[in-house]
């Protein structure tokens, strides 16, 4: 999982650990006439319990903790959500306006690094993979005050990152669209959609089954090509328990649906041992300072 003001932080704390989706938004002001960009530096921290597949393409699920920290310092937005981090190097401008986004992004990919977390014995018999480090950047644009209020936001972005650790030695391209809207001073919801296009090396590392793998696992030999791997849609929401959306405790929840595509859907790890449909869900708490 794409970065971020305080309310979007609450949405992302629930949703971004499930996938790589997040929305850059302006906060709802504490006073109806206040500018949404005059609330100063802020940070939101939280943790969610996430229910997600054992590996990408699995039909077995497990619960994991999903920590996050999101904020803004001198109008520079940043996020550290689960295994992903990014910063917007273009400062946010006061008032409802177009928001141009550009900055670095990094992700730690733990795909199949630990057999003990995989229930399916066929996939568990396949070789483990080292942890990969993927670095790159993203660019996007957003507009505040588009549909429901002066404080809702629609944004679109595209990111590219490449493995620099030599595990899959390929790139991941991710376009995404996000919409966020406050429902009141205490509640907000967000919708998002994204897709991923990956290089041949990614499929070789995580979805191929060679002859030796086939003997060990009983899965048929399979070779993937690069291309579109999946699309994802999701919904997230937050409700303030103390104060409002700009401060205090809040509960967060979200869910996503991912559809595996092309060779990645046909891989035996997905088509035989797993499922082309991937569901993820999370619920947790967050605190905004």
Coil, helix or strand for 218? coil
CB atoms within 10 A of CB 95: 12
Q: Which residue has the tokens 């991937």?
A: 278
The CA distances from residue 288 to 19, 36, 162, 229, in Å, are 22, 16, 32, 35
pTM, entire model = 0.85
pLDDT digits (tens, 9 = 90+) for 144-195: 888 888 888 899 999 999 999 999 999 999 999 999 889 988 898 999 999 9
Q: How many domains does the chain have?
A: 1
Q: Is 169 inside a domain boundary?
A: yes
Residue 91 banded pLDDT, cuts 50, 70, 90: confident
Find, among 270, 274, 266, 193, the residue nearest to 227 by Cα. 266
CB atoms within 10 A of CB 119: 14
Alpha helices in the chain (DSSP H): 6-15, 121-124, 200-206, 211-217, 262-266, 268-271
> Pseudo-torsion of CA 8, 43, 186, 286, nearest 10°?
90
Q: Is 42 inside a domain boundary?
A: yes
What's the rounded Cα separation, in Å, for the pair 167 and 152? 40
168 φ, ψ to 5°?
-120, -15
124 φ, ψ to 5°?
-65, -25
What's the rounded Cα separation, in Å, for the pair 220 and 3? 41
Residue 95 banded pLDDT, cuts 50, 70, 90: low
257 φ, ψ to 5°?
-125, 125
The pair of structure tokens assigned to 229 is: 């791997």
pLDDT digits (tens, 9 = 90+) for 116-150: 899 999 999 999 999 999 999 999 999 988 888 88
| CATH number, domain with residue 246 | 2.40.160.40
The domain in which residue 16 lies consists of: 6-288
- Provide, for the chain, the percentages of residues in helix, strand and coil under a 3-state DSSP scheme, each rounded to the nearest 5: 15, 50, 35
Mean pLDDT for the chain?
A: 84
Q: Average pLDDT for residues 64-69, to the nearest whole number?
A: 86
Size of the chain, expressed as the number of residues it contains = 289
CB atoms within 10 A of CB 85: 16
212 φ, ψ to 5°?
-65, -40
User: How high is the pLDDT of residue 96?
Assistant: 58
Number of H helices, E strands in the chain: 6, 12
Q: Is 85 inside a domain boundary?
A: yes
Q: Is 1 inside a domain boundary?
A: no
């Amino acid at each position: 999982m794409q970065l971020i003001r305080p309310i979007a932080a609450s949405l992302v704390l629930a949703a971004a650990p499930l996938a790589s989706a997040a929305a850059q938004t302006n906060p709802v002001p504490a006073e109806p006439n206040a500018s949404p960009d005059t609330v100063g530096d802020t940070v939101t921290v939280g943790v969610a319990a996430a229910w997600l597949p054992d590996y990408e393409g699995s039909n077995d699920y497990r619960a994991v903790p999903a920590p996050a920290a999101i904020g803004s310092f001198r109008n520079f937005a940043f996020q550290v959500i689960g295994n992903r981090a990014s910063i917007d190097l273009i400062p946010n401008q006061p008032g409802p306006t177009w928001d141009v986004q550009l900055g670095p992004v990094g992700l730690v990919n733990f795909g199949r690094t630990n057999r003990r977390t995989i229930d399916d014995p066929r996939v568990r018999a396949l070789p483990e993979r080292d942890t990969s480090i993927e670095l790159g950047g993203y660019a996007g644009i957003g507009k505040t005050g588009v549909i429901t209020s002066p404080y809702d936001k629609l944004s679109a972005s595209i990111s590219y990152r490449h493995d620099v650790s030599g595990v899959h030695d390929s790139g991941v391209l991710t376009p995404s669209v996000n919409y966020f809207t406050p429902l009141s001073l205490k509640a907000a919801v967000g919708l998002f959609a994204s897709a991923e296009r990956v290089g041949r090396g990614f499929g070789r590392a995580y979805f191929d089954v060679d002859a030796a793998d086939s003997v060990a696992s009983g899965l048929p030999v399979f070779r993937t090509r690069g291309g579109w791997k999946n699309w994802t849609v999701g919904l997230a929401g937050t409700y303030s328990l103390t104060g409002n959306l700009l401060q205090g405790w809040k509960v967060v929840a979200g869910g996503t649906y991912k559809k595996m595509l092309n060779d990645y859907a046909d891989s035996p790890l997905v088509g035989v041992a797993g499922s082309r449909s991937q569901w993820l869900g999370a619920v947790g708490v967050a605190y905004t300072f």
